[in-house]
Structure 1
C-alpha cells in the first residue's frame, strides 16, 4: 500500500502550498523510481492543473479526473487498477495528475476518502494539495488520514508565531508526522531559518524552500513540467540550483521518513 502526503497551510494564499507540493512531487518523480500521483481537494478550482500545463476536467470531457472516478465509485466499479486510466501523465511511469472538476455537487469528503483508498493501492506515493485551514471537514479528515503532513508557512514572523503558539495548530496534527516548510525563503530576510528552528520549533523538522525567480516564472507560464525535466537532464550549474537543493533535502527526508528510500536515487 502506498503512502499519502498532504500539503496544507493554516493560512490561505500566503504560503505557496500548491506550488510547493507541485515542485516537490515533480522533483521526487525525477529523482526516485517510485510511481506517484498528485491531486487536490479544491474540486471547483485549483492552480495545480495549470502549473503542469493541464486543463480543468470540463474542457476535456468526462473521461478523466475526479468526476470520472466519482461515477465509477457510485457504480461500485472503482478499482485500483482502473485509476491510472483516468489520470493524466506528467512524467511517464513516475508522476500522474488526477485533475479536478467544476461540478460543485460532488460529495467531497466521502469521495476523497474512497479515492485515497484506491489510489494508495495504485501508487507508491499520493501527494494531496489540501485546502488551507480547517473549517472544512475535508481538510480535517485528510490531516487525520495522512501518513505525513507538510505544513507550509510564509516567512512571516506573525504567522509563524501564531502557528507555533497553538492558535493556528489544529488538533488533527497532534501526534502526526509533520514537517514544516518556510516557503519562498530568502536568507536575507528575517526571521532566518536558524532563528525559526531555535525559537519556535524544537519538536518538528523545519526546512526552507528557497525562493527562485526561475521557478516563479515557470509557474506563471504553466511550464514547471518542462523546467524540472531540463534540470534533471542538465549537468551544468543552474541559477535555480539553490531552489533544487532545498527541494532535494526535503524529499530525502520524506523518502527516509516514509521508508521510500529503499530504491536508489537516479544518477544526476
Structure 2
C-alpha cells in the first residue's frame, strides 16, 4: 500500500510501472496541474481530484462523488494503466489526494497500486530526478472487478449510525472542532454522524510520511480488529489516509463512506450529533 522513495527510484524506468501525480490544492483548483507542469517524477501523468477523480456534484453523493466509472476507466486506459502494471500515486506530500487515487483503483479491483511515502516534497528533498516531460502511453484495456469490501454506502452507514453495541465502528477523520460541531467552514451543517469516534487523519502522518505501523496501532488501540470499520470525512478524500493507516496497522475490515458528511447531511431525515 505504501512504498518508499528508494523503491520507486530503483524501479523508475521499468516498463510495467505507471506513476500518477495527484497534485491538487483545495484552496486553488488550478494549482495541482501547475505544480505538475513545473516538474514531476519522470514518467508521471497527472490526475486531477476534481476533473479526473470526482464526478459532477448533485443533490446527493457529497462534494467529491465518484466520476462515471466508464469515463475514469477510459482515462486509466489512455494512461497505459491496466491490471498488469504496478501503479504508484503521489501528491505534493499532503497524502490525501494520492490516497484517493489509490482507493479508487483498489475499488476497481487493481491489486498492485501504492502510495509514495512523503510525496513529491519528500522526493525533491531526496534530490531524486524530476522532469517537465509529459509521457504518452499506448492505450490499453483495464479489466474491472469491483471490490465492494472497501465501499460503504449511505444506507450502510445509516444502518449502524448511533446503534448500541454495533459491530461496526464509524471513524470521523476530520479535525476535532469540526467533529464536535464547534465550527464548519465548508458544509451546510455542523456536527457528526451519530456514534462516530474521532481520529483526525493528519495524526497518522508526520511531514507527509506515514507513521510506523506500531504507532498507528497505538492510535487505534481503542478499536477491536474484529469489527468492521467505516471511515469518513467531509467529502471522502481526507478520510483515506486513515484508511491506509488502519490497513498498515493490521485492520482488515475497512470501508470508505465515499459521500461522507457532505452526503449524510443532504438527507433531511439523517440525524446529526
Tell whether the structures are fold-level matches, with TM greater than 0.5.
no
Which structure's relative contact order is higher, taking Cα pairs within 8 Å and 6+ residues apart? 1
Q: TM-score, normalised by structure 1?
A: 0.29
